[in-house]
Copies of this chain bind each other. A is one copy, B any other.
Amino acid sequence: MEQIQPSTEGLRYRKKLKARLAVERSALELVTERGYDGVTVEDICARAEISKKTFFNYFPSKASAVMGRFDTFPNDEHLLAILEEHDEACYLDVLVGIVGASMASGVDEDIVALRREVLRSMPQLFFQGQRDLLAVQHSIAAALRSYLSEHPERRMLSNQLVDEEALVASSTAIGLARTRSMLHVCGDSKPSATDVRHLVMAYLSAGDRVSGASCL
């Protein structure tokens, strides 16, 4: 029987876990004390007692140490497979679900609570993760290009080209995932992907209920 994860126990593994936690905790504490821009990666390294290079072995960016990594976000083939599989639901909901699930995976309770505190008091941080989300967005756009080409019946913007729908969709999916995260962190409900989509729909259509409407 082959093991999927090369090492899921042993000293090496435990140290890794501890180091990763130390980094996340240090990052969140420092950001709480001095704000995002008042903290450098080297500050975080110093507190977590690791080198800068090790930091970047664990986290692809400064933001990811504070905001969480997209650990389990599937690679391109896997993503496509998931889309193929969930052909009963709106693909946007599927994507928003995956992005959400990959955001806070494998992090301990403590860190999740700390991060929530930090985000509640500095909601601008919701928009710091851009660089990391870009990779996610690219994957999504690529997967959708294949998927929608092969399953035109699943398209939701039939008047646009497939490439355009993929572009708009990847952007929308990330936007919905972020909105969901904001609602979850700042409020106290945990809306489903579908809930968030409905909420945003209602939000957008509320625009038509104002006096004059449609002018710009």
Contact = CB atoms under 8 A, between A and B. Distances in A.
A4 interface: no
A214 interface: yes
This chain: copies in complex: 2
A127 B194 CA distance: 25
Given A89-B210, A201-B205, A96 B127 contact: no
A211 B93 contact: no
Interface of A: 86-94, 96-97, 123-124, 126-127, 130-131, 134, 137-138, 154, 156-157, 160-161, 163-164, 167-168, 171-172, 175, 178-179, 182-183, 186-187, 192-194, 197, 199-201, 203-208, 210-216
29 contacts: A88-B210, A88-B213, A89-B210, A89-B212, A89-B216, A90-B207, A90-B208, A90-B210, A93-B216, A123-B163, A126-B167, A126-B171, A127-B171, A130-B130, A130-B131, A156-B206, A156-B207, A161-B187, A164-B182, A164-B187, A167-B182, A168-B183, A171-B175, A172-B175, A172-B179, A192-B216, A194-B214, A194-B216, A197-B207
